[in-house]
Structure 1
Amino acid sequence: MIPEDNRFESHPADVLPHDTGLPEGWAVETPDGTHPPTVARLAELLRAHEHAGRGWAGSGEDEVLVETLGLAMRENVVVVDPAGVIRAWGSVHDRAEGRMLLVHVVDRDLDDELADRCSDLLFAWAGVQAQSVGAARGLGVQQVDTGAFAGDVRQQRWLAGAGFERVRTWWQMSRPVEPQESGLVPDPARWERNGVVFRLVERGDDGRPSEADLRAVHDVLEGAFTDHFNSAEETFDEFIHRLREDPGHRWDHWWVAEIVDGPEVEAAGALVGTVSESDAGPDGSYVFYLGVLASARGRGVATGLLRTIIADAASRGRDRVGLEVDADSPTGADGLYTSMGWVTKYVTESWHKDVTVSRD
């Protein structure tokens, strides 16, 4: 189900000034996100961006398609040279009320002056999109949320120059998985310890998950992250639509933890996992979300869910489990992860800008 109509301005000519400041023959366009050569070129730009920022590339065409085909909640723009080659790409995502995500990628082969101009155009375009989304949602301020790799000096310079502030640092962690760890829990599909049941979300004969279980996962995560950094309320439909867009999405990677030794069974923890596909070796698993309600903390719920996804990964022949952790979190979650074998592989940063929404 697509949650809402598109709140963005779809035509670059209605967003940017007539004189873009680009050389003759250059243009700003809306890309055809279904055209294979276009998707391949955007993936090439994204991979070069990742390689320059962290030393290796992990994304591909599937990640691009998430941005270009999420029509109801996303909009895209590209800068093309006189030969029709895409040299810069911007994508915005109406993520949740008050929070708009921005992808900002500029060809690493451009000279500094032209690269700067492309960057400025992407930020100008994103600023108008923030106005449009914020006005449609009835907001006075719309946040633009983007990021950079910790080592990407060029991206950091552009963000600071465009009025963004670095607000958070994230450790991207990974843990190796050994085949024998398939026995880490009795059965990743369902097991119990100390009055807590860890189980996959239920699915019917048609393979579709139980809506009650999905709503339980959503409610747990909304409750668990209420006080976390930059938490923004997300409707159930927005949540399901967004996670299903992820290339690694699989229904058999969603777990719920239930307290069963009280007066009523209570969903108190949830883990949403995904597949990290690899062309060069075994796939991995990834902890997309892990949340535990405050009322259940101290009962080993987070540890149990992590042991479950490790065991599941091992049973599938995978060699790693990745996750992201807030380097500034007061919860001390990084201590749990490091104690269970996770190490930081690289570091990313969140950069934010608040755009005042015009009342005109």
Structure 2
Amino acid sequence: MTTAVLPAEYTVRPPVPADSGAIFALVSAYNTAVIGTADCTLADITNGIIDPGFESRTDGWLVLDRDDVPVGYGTACGKGNREVAEIEVLSQDAMVAGWLFDRSLRRAAEMGREAGHADVTVDSYVYGADTSLRALLSEHEFSTGTTFNRMRIDHTEPVATPDVPAGYVVHRGADDDRTRRIAHDVIIECFSGQFGFVARPHEEWLEARAAYANFSWSQFTLLELDGKAVAFRDCSDRDVEIENCGHIDGLGVIESARGRGLATYLLRDAFALDAAAGRAGTILHVDTNNPTPALHLYLSVGMRPTLVIEGWRRTMPATR
């Protein structure tokens, strides 16, 4: 396979926060062409650029035409100790997309090499309907690792607040350092081993949340048993602007507490809160290969799949 070449009429530079509006327009147009909706907000774009784990100078590429209008955008984001990198490539110009893909892969390999790894695992997420990007991934020796369904439930009338499971205590909000440490530990325990999850250092995790415009600690919920946190729900306003819906960013139960209806309670509690706030519905994403029967759970409480997103993966030498 030959290395892609950027057309001569285009220039490339790192993204900066001031580019957020122009990148948002590019992403919105691309997504609308693929799935019929923008599926992003200006805050999403800004958050990606200012995320503490992202170094835009080396890890992002904004391709501009002669009029300085963005025609392509790509990123490579290292995770953990850079043993994993997540790349994103977006352009309706096939040559630009190919160049961004090659550049992001090279940067992913550099990250792994700089961290002393012989290999690096590279992940990328793509809409199931995006045939051109799926083809590009396949050409670069990626294969599908899992499939995510976007799930939604509509709230057309008030939703009853569920009873708290007997013996458990609901802790709403995470306003102090101790609770935030517990929250982070529970997330890691629940999600370790799942596709794409790599635990962030605690301080970086806190900094990323502080920078996320649609997040509030007041929307974080823990379930405790005998003083120990055993389940969590992490919500944000990410979908309020687009669809007037609440969004569940994460929900999990530690292994020893599964099978007791805790996830069902947390879901129904979120539905009641969203309905009371006047939200049209509640949205979340589920890995269909989740080791727990999560998809069955969401279907059982009335949620329905509305969109397919695939997780693609390749492990390659860090010497690329």
Segments of structure 1 that go 5 or more residues without pairing to the other structure are 1-18, 109-114, 187-191, 203-208
Q: Which residue of 2 aligns with 1:257?
A: 223
Determine the C-alpha separation between the residues in 1 that align with 2:130 and 2:303: 24
1:159 aligns to what?
137
- Whether the 8 Å CA contact 1:179–1:315 is kept in 2: the answer is no
Contact kept? 1:73, 1:95, Cα under 8 Å: no
**Could you tell me the percent identity over the aligned residues?**
22
CA deviation digits over 1:107-164, x for unaligned, max 9? x3xxxxxx23212211121122212321333222222211111111111111111222
Structure 1 residue 179: Cα displacement: 4.6
Give SS of 1:56's match. coil
> Greater Rg, structure 1 or structure 2?
1
**Cα distance change on mapping 1:163 and 1:304 into 2, 3 Å:** same
Shift of 1:319: 1.6
Alignment of 1:1-360 (within 5 A): 21-31=5-15, 33-35=16-18, 38-70=19-51, 72-75=53-56, 76-97=60-81, 98-106=83-91, 108=92, 115-181=93-159, 183-185=160-162, 192-202=164-174, 209-260=175-226, 265-279=227-241, 283-358=244-319
Q: Contact (CA 8 Å) 2:233, 2:248: kept in 1 or not?
A: yes
The separation in 2 between residues aligned to 1:144 and 1:228, in whole angstroms, is: 15
Q: CA deviation at 1:324?
A: 0.8
Please tell me the residue identity of whatever aligns with 1:22: L
Give the deviation of 1:278 after TM superposition. 4.3
Q: 1:30 to 1:142 in 2, by over 3 A?
A: same
Q: Is the alpha carbon distance of 1:146 and 1:276 closer, same or farther for their aligned partners in structure 2, counting shifts above 3 Å?
A: same
Q: Decide which structure has greater helix share.
A: 2
The 1:329/1:357 distance shift into structure 2, 3 A limit, reads same
Contact map agreement 1:179 1:317 (CA 8 A) in 2: no
Task: Decide which moves more: 222-231 or 140-149.
Answer: 222-231
Q: Determine the C-alpha separation between the residues in 2 that align with 1:167 and 1:347.
A: 13
Contact map agreement 2:145 2:195 (CA 8 A) in 1: no
CA gap of 1:233–1:139, structure 2 versus 1, over 3 A, is farther
For residues 174 and 21 of structure 1, the distance between their equivalents in structure 2, rounded to whole angstroms, comes to: 41
Alignment partners' CA distance in 1, 2:117 and 2:312: 20
- How many residue pairs get aligned? The number is 314
User: What secondary structure does 2:216 align onto?
Assistant: strand
> Which whole-Å deviations, capped at 9, do the CAs of 1:269-320 have from their partners, x for residues lacking one?
0111111344576x21111111111111122211121122112212211121
The Cα of 1:223 is off from its aligned counterpart by 1.1
Q: Is the 8 A contact 2:239 2:247 kept in 1?
A: no
Give ranges in structure 2 of 5+ residues lacking alignment. Answer: none
Letter in 2 for 1:307: R
- What CA distance in whole angstroms lies between the structure 1 residues aligned with 2:9 and 2:133? 26
Q: Distance in 2 between matches of 1:228 and 1:29?
A: 34
1:20, CA displacement in angstroms? 7.2
> In structure 2, what residue type is equivalent to 1:250?
S
Q: Distance in 1 between matches of 2:21 and 2:172?
A: 35
Deviation of the 1:226 alpha carbon: 2.4
